[in-house]
């Protein structure tokens, strides 16, 4: 009598087929491709690399599957066996600042079931420029700032990685500041003292450059307002004033008008007058 119900051999059969399936997962094939390739670009000929018979690709329903993403980055052309890109692969949105960017792809064939694991290593392309957060940085620095004083500037960012990210900065030549950059800390260093009375506003052009080829850059204008310090004394319009007046002049007669000016700003430039060493009789 035939037993159509539960067979004690069945679990064994599943177990065996599981082992077979595992064996069908072949060793990793890995391909290195640049990001942002045009759609339909040929990555590699899979049929050739895997020794597959081109004539059976269609009947075996060869297809690619992706792990953990609904996007289809690539596809297989059933008539040529080529692995081709099927949509934009943007390394930045896929992997951000990660130093390595790998997309896992499974190539599946049926009848008999065959699985190949492919790794696509997405290489960075220099498609982003260094960017400062703002176009303009406003700074106020007092003219009494000492030589060697440092003023930090927010660094630029570049979405690319490695050499394609920010590599150096350059400051337009000017009379007062030089640049100090270490491990992405960017500082202006006062090289020659400021003088508000000579120049009260300074514009500096700062450029960030990446190390890609071709190189990309981004700029920011640093607008420095020089604040006043009380570093000027009032100066009279003449060193010596001479006046003569008749001896019978009445009190309150104007003897002479003197005037002094001060190059500083605000209260630092206000001038008051005071006579010293004058005896009551005078």
Ligand X SMILES: *[C@@H]1O[C@H](CO)[C@@H](O)[C@H](O)[C@H]1NC(C)=O
Residues that bind Ca ion (CB under 5 A): 90, 92, 124-128, 158, 160, 164, 196, 210, 216, 228, 231, 264
- The three-state secondary structure class of 268 is helix
Residue 170 as a binder of ligand X (CB under 6 A): the answer is no
Write the DSSP assignment of 191-247 as a string of letters: -S---TTT-SEEEEEEEEEE--SS--EEEEEEEEEEEP-S----EESSS-------T
Among 45, 49, 50, 77, the residue binding ligand X under the rule CB under 6 A is: 77
Looking only at Cα atoms, what is the longest distance across the chain?
156
Residue 80 contact among Ca ion, ligand X, none, beta carbon within 5 to 8 Å by kind: ligand X
| DSSP string covering 79-124 | TT-EEEE-S---HHHHHTT-S--EEEEEEEETTTTEEEEEEEEEEP
**Site stretch for ligand X (CB under 6 A), options 77-85, 132-140, 153-161, 245-253:** 77-85
Which residue is listed with tokens 């670009």?
41
Rounded CA separation 210/130 (Å): 7
Partner touching 44 among ligand X, Ca ion, none, CB below 5 to 8 Å by kind? none
Which one of 31, 36, 66, 80 is in contact with ligand X (CB under 6 A)?
Answer: 80
Contact partner at residue 79 from Ca ion, ligand X, none, CB < 5 to 8 Å by partner kind: ligand X
C-alpha angle 177-179-183 in degrees, rounded to nearest 5:
155
Can you tell me which of 79, 119, 184, 249 binds ligand X, judged by CB under 6 A?
Answer: 79
Binding residues for ligand X, how many (CB under 6 A)?
3
Task: For the CB of residue 36, give the shortest distance to ligand X in the complex, in Å.
Answer: 20
In this structure, the chain runs to a length of 282
C-beta closer to Ca ion: residue 126 or 176:
126
Using CB under 6 A, list all residues that contact ligand X. 77, 79-80
């Amino acid at each position: 009598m035939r037993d159509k119900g539960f067979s004690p051999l069945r679990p064994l059969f599943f177990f065996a087929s599981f082992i077979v399936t595992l064996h069908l997962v072949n060793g990793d094939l890995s391909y290195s491709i640049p990001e942002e390739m045009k759609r339909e670009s040929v990555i590699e000929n899979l049929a050739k690399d895997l020794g597959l018979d081109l004539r059976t690709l269609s009947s075996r329903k060869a297809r690619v599957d992706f792990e953990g993403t609904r996007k289809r980055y690539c596809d297989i052309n059933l008539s040529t066996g080529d692995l081709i890109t099927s949509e934009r692969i943007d390394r930045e949105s896929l992997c951000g600042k990660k130093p390595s960017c790998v997309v896992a792809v499974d190539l599946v064939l049926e009848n008999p079931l065959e699985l190949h694991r492919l790794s696509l290593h997405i290489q960075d392309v220099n498609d982003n420029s260094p960017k400062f957060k703002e176009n303009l940085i406003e700074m106020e620095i007092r003219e009494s700032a000492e030589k060697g004083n440092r003023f930090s500037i927010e660094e630029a960012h570049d979405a690319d990685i490695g050499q394609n990210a920010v590599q150096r900065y350059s400051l337009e030549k000017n009379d007062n500041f030089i640049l100090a950059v270490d491990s992405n800390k960017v500082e202006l260093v006062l090289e020659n003292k400021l003088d508000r009375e000579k120049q009260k506003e300074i514009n500096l052009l700062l450029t960030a450059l990446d190390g890609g080829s071709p190189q990309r850059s981004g700029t920011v204008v640093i607008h420095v307002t020089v604040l006043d310090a009380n570093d000027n004394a009032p100066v009279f319009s003449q060193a010596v004033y001479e006046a003569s007046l008749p001896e019978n002049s009445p009190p309150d007669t104007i003897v002479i008008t003197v005037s002094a000016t001060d190059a500083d700003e605000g209260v630092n430039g206000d001038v008051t007058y005071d006579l010293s060493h004058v005896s009551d009789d005078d």
